[in-house]
A and B are shown apart, each in its own frame.
Chain A
């Protein structure tokens, strides 16, 4: 919200500069987000009198005027760097003007040549359609005094010719603060009085504004019969004050008021509307003014506050039509709606230049209901902004007293009477504040005298009891409800900067290690060590992604292995969908890390020839059948949602003539598992034939099974899927369920004695049938060799026609002796026989 420094200064009596005020408020009260100087830049504008108006000979829409600007002893304009005005001492200027609202004898603001107006226009001597013009007559907006551009700003006839317009208008330079008022202070600090009170407190001065003195005279409240007010829904409207003023003269507000409104970002309209806004800005109470004539029904002035009927319509001041329902609150005259309570006035009951009698409203409406109505109807106003933050009902009285005072002054209006319906008067509440608690929570000893001083300055009355202070909270501080709220007040006014850093007194004990998180860290380290770069992706993707990757309806533990077609899934798991996504690309909550990883591949594939990426993150799924209480709970004990921590790694190579990408990544997986202490003998890579539309390549994939449990998968991405992402290279991915991986990973390494006796390496190579798999050969070698085979290493493999050639190093040895070559020969012979017999391979001899 915008605040005028001049206004705050007047209300608080501060002598501090705007910078100082800003600093004080920021450190102790409210954050000042911006500060802007408001300067009235029309130094060359003077009061002139129109002596003559003639038609422009060459332009229908223009006129030639002669303007008396009086005698000047010094140039009226002395623009920096510009030429001095040639008109010193000259009294009458020829000026070409297009406006039609001027008449001979009018006094007008005249911008003389050399003047630079607030809108940036520089006035120069000019020739307009062949006629010389030595200045410009100004409209209101051209002086930066509003947006009115309907015609030249006609000044009072008493204005002194030649007087600088700035002096005549009484405008003052100001500084505008943009203050961020948070919800706790939105009850009281969205007003100049609220902020001025803060300034006084911070300067350790009693707030001089006579807030308590704003009281309705009882007499005019009791016996006022010409207006009736009835509240039908006392929950939605806890107070309604209606005041009648007569003999109102509708006109422009005085310029000091306009300036303050403008400073606060509100457009001046007329003296009555401006007064409602002015009092709102001063006190924080939104107000409204009705034209009494337009709201009287059957010669009665009455106001009935009721809920709208369903589909009831209301035409607003801005001509828009609202369709209401039963939860909206209306101000009516008993028949027709006059205003949407607390939000905006209706078109028909507004003030216009003929208004003579007005009804002023100061009321209190239910905050939650205002918020709901304005959200649903899409109408947000200064008024609704304040009401929805909940304001003190007692403020309404102060505001009505203040506006009456203002209008007596600015509209010559006469106060007729007032009706105040306020069934449940809000009284100040009391909080017992434990002095020990103040010190204990802030961590500083603040003297009792300081505590009461601060509270009293804030308008809180205090009574001292042993170890306690009983605080009476003024009703305008709706936010102060607990001891902690009061401690905050004491702390901030006293100064948080005075609180010294204090070490915690609790002993430091070794922290419990979060096993999953530290395992994830370890995985990250290994992946980075292997040359993989880390990706962070959104947890969302589009419907197209779910289709491209054939992910919908797959159980997380099946998509881990990306194995089963959706139909076969027993636990049909669905994507969560966002109720209102940022955009359609981010509509579904991911059940797999792969789709976004494929997008990462796409992002980089034209920049890097080969790359390795990984992501560690969660996937989420919804278990509709689990919600109904089948007992499933996720790791946090929640039903209905499942979250899994996953690791995905993906690889793209510069060139791949066969399956290098797959095997490269498989090597990484092997090294990863080895690093985690999972023995090769416990790992099974189990291939599956998948449907052609599957995310993974139908015949280049494997489940990774450790100790009979599926912990992840490795595979190439299906070329058909890659095509959908416009990726033209092979992409291999592996995915692990991090927690399962953690469970099979070795917790503690155990030292094995070093091999003491020499080992022997024998090579064997063979030609096998096309369908023979490496694992079958290895298994036979290991089976035959038993304990004597220490390692089987494939060192060569290639396809030839329909056959595959395999070549292995086999390392023989024993832990307790040196093997004799005879023993090794025997094993090798048996290996060869068995391979030839069982796999029909042709061993090269």
Chain B
């Protein structure tokens, strides 16, 4: 056959196909038959392609291209027809549903807000290169008091203020335990423990459970959570304390927070400060939340007393450091506007499920 005849034949096949596909009643089977007949393995089309080898390279190129294009066209048309059939057979109306009917809920639990605050604090400080340290919750007198430069006769050591543990005795009444144990009254008890094992420069935070023997009301709890920060180096100073606190609180409250130091007194720091941040509600202008002061009192801070370094085995006046201890409850209450500290330990799911 000549190239002209071949061309004609291909075009005729195409016309024939187009005519036929218009005529047939569209169905999956009919289309399958049609496809088999026109472009299937045993179709005329394929035999044309098979015979191309008898042509000159130039003819082969021309006819080959035409045949391929035509074949692809036919495939395309059949594919489109199939899609038409599929969408025609789908009756969407029948599937209509009421989307306002409640779905099936997945139950996800809730963290206690103290945990939420604690996790945020840990994340901010970890990002600033602080290690998270911890220590025992039953502490001996040395770490809880002596090592912190708290004098023997300091009122904090009173039965009224500290949960001392009854000492263990033998059958004959002699004492078994070598130490006076108490539930730790501050996370600062970890300071000397950590410093004994690590040399400066160091920066840690210590989040944890603390205990003080005081009557509970809306703002007081005998069991509470603190987070201690301790930074020791050769020339750590008050400016560093201000910087670190400002950075931390700004990150924690996700807004620009100012810090303010006021003179205070703690045996384990000198100088000691009361630590305020600008009110997170009004930004310092004065509002109900800050009792019109513009500042929120957060806790105590100061430069580590040299006696504490000495207790931890560091030489006097070699290092400088700052420390602070803030209550997690206070931060959680400020952030979530919780008005009663007792809720944290209430075990009431109506409370926990809100966070």
List A residues at the B interface (Cβ < 8 Å). Answer: 26-31, 182-185, 367-368, 371-372, 375, 437, 440-444, 482, 484-485, 487-488, 491-492, 496-497, 499-506, 508-512, 514, 516-518, 521, 524, 527-539, 574, 576-582, 589, 596, 599-600, 603-604, 607-608, 611-614, 617-618, 620, 622, 624, 627-628, 634-636, 638-641, 643
Does B26 make an interface contact (CB < 8 A)?
A: no
Given contacts A527-B109, A604-B347, A627-B168, contact A499 B136 (CB under 8 A): no
Identify which of B11-19, B78-86, B88-96, B157-165 touches chain A.
B157-165
List B residues at the A interface (Cβ < 8 Å). Answer: 106-112, 114-115, 119, 122, 125-126, 128-138, 140, 153-154, 158-160, 163-166, 168, 170, 176-179, 181, 183, 193, 201, 203, 209, 211, 213, 215-216, 222-223, 231, 233, 235-240, 242-244, 246, 259-265, 270-274, 303, 305-306, 317, 320, 344-350, 352-353
Contact at A539–B193, with CB atoms within 8 Å? no
Contact at B238–A640, with CB atoms within 8 Å? no
Contact at A508–B129, with CB atoms within 8 Å? yes
Q: Which residue of B lies closest to A576 (CB)?
A: B165
Contact at B223–A534, with CB atoms within 8 Å? no
Contact at B109–A533, with CB atoms within 8 Å? yes
Task: List 4 tightest A-B contacts by C-beta distance, closest first.
Answer: A443-B239, A443-B237, A502-B239, A531-B107
Q: A367-B153, A482-B270 are in contact. List 17 more A-B contacts (CB 8 A).
A: A183-B154, A184-B265, A441-B320, A484-B271, A501-B239, A508-B129, A514-B132, A514-B133, A517-B132, A535-B347, A538-B222, A578-B163, A579-B166, A589-B165, A624-B170, A638-B136, A640-B176
Given contacts A440-B320, A441-B303, A580-B213, contact A528 B129 (CB under 8 A): no
Contact at A183–B131, with CB atoms within 8 Å? no
Q: How far is the CA of A639 from the CA of B244 in the complex (A)?
A: 37
Q: Which of B115, B134, B164 contacts A578 (CB 8 A)?
A: B164
Given contacts A443-B237, A488-B270, A501-B246, contact A368 B136 (CB under 8 A): no
Given contacts A499-B239, A578-B166, A579-B165, contact A514 B134 (CB under 8 A): yes
Q: Can you spell out 6 A-B residue pairs with CB atoms less than 8 angstroms apart?
A: A443-B240, A496-B260, A517-B134, A531-B109, A534-B110, A604-B349
Contact at A529–B261, with CB atoms within 8 Å? no
Q: Which residue of B lies closest to A645 (CB)?
A: B134
Q: Which residue of B lies closest to A27 (CB)?
A: B262
Q: How far is the CA of A20 from the CA of B260 in the complex (A)?
A: 18
Contact at B176–A627, with CB atoms within 8 Å? yes
Q: Given the complex, which residues of B lie within 8 Å of A368, measured CB to CB?
A: 153
Contact at A482–B306, with CB atoms within 8 Å? yes
Q: Which residue of B lies closest to A184 (CB)?
A: B265
Contact at A537–B178, with CB atoms within 8 Å? no
Q: Which residue of B lies closest to A492 (CB)?
A: B263
Q: How far is the CA of A484 from the CA of B170 in the complex (A)?
A: 46
Q: Given the complex, which residues of A lie within 8 Å of B239, measured CB to CB?
A: 442-444, 499-502
Q: How far is the CA of A372 from the CA of B320 in the complex (A)?
A: 36
Q: Given the complex, which residues of B lie within 8 Å of A579, measured CB to CB?
A: 159, 163-166
Q: From residue B251, how far is it (CB to closest CB) to chain A in Å?
A: 14
The binding surface of chain A is classed by DSSP as mixed
Q: Given the complex, which residues of B lie within 8 Å of A485, measured CB to CB?
A: 270
Contact at A487–B271, with CB atoms within 8 Å? yes
Contact at A624–B168, with CB atoms within 8 Å? yes
Q: From residue B330, how far is it (CB to closest CB) to chain A in Å?
A: 15
Contact at A577–B165, with CB atoms within 8 Å? yes
Q: How far is the CA of A531 from the CA of B158 in the complex (A)?
A: 43
Contact at B177–A640, with CB atoms within 8 Å? yes
Q: How far is the CA of A28 from the CA of B262 in the complex (A)?
A: 7
Q: Given the complex, which residues of A lie within 8 Å of B345, measured CB to CB?
A: 536-538
Q: How far is the CA of A607 from the CA of B237 in the complex (A)?
A: 53
Q: How far is the CA of A496 from the CA of B239 in the complex (A)?
A: 9
Q: Which of B112, B138, B176, B263 contacts A29 (CB 8 A)?
A: B263
Q: Given the complex, which residues of A lie within 8 Å of B215, measured CB to CB?
A: 582
Q: From residue B329, how far is it (CB to closest CB) to chain A in Å?
A: 10
Contact at B110–A643, with CB atoms within 8 Å? no
Given contacts A512-B131, A624-B168, A640-B168, contact A611 B223 (CB under 8 A): no
Q: Given the complex, which residues of A lie within 8 Å of B112, measured CB to CB?
A: 534-536
Given contacts A441-B303, A511-B132, contact A492 B271 (CB under 8 A): yes
Contact at B109–A488, with CB atoms within 8 Å? no
Q: Given the complex, which residues of A lie within 8 Å of B265, measured CB to CB?
A: 182-185
Q: Given the complex, which residues of B lie within 8 Å of A535, measured CB to CB?
A: 112, 347, 352
Contact at A497–B193, with CB atoms within 8 Å? no
Q: Which residue of A lies closest to B348 (CB)?
A: A603
Contact at B270–A505, with CB atoms within 8 Å? no
Interface centre among B122, B168, B344, by most chain A C-beta atoms within 10 angstroms, is B168
Contact at B131–A488, with CB atoms within 8 Å? no
Contact at B140–A638, with CB atoms within 8 Å? yes
Q: Given the complex, which residues of B lie within 8 Å of A514, measured CB to CB?
A: 131-134
Given contacts A524-B111, A576-B166, A627-B177, contact A26 B272 (CB under 8 A): no
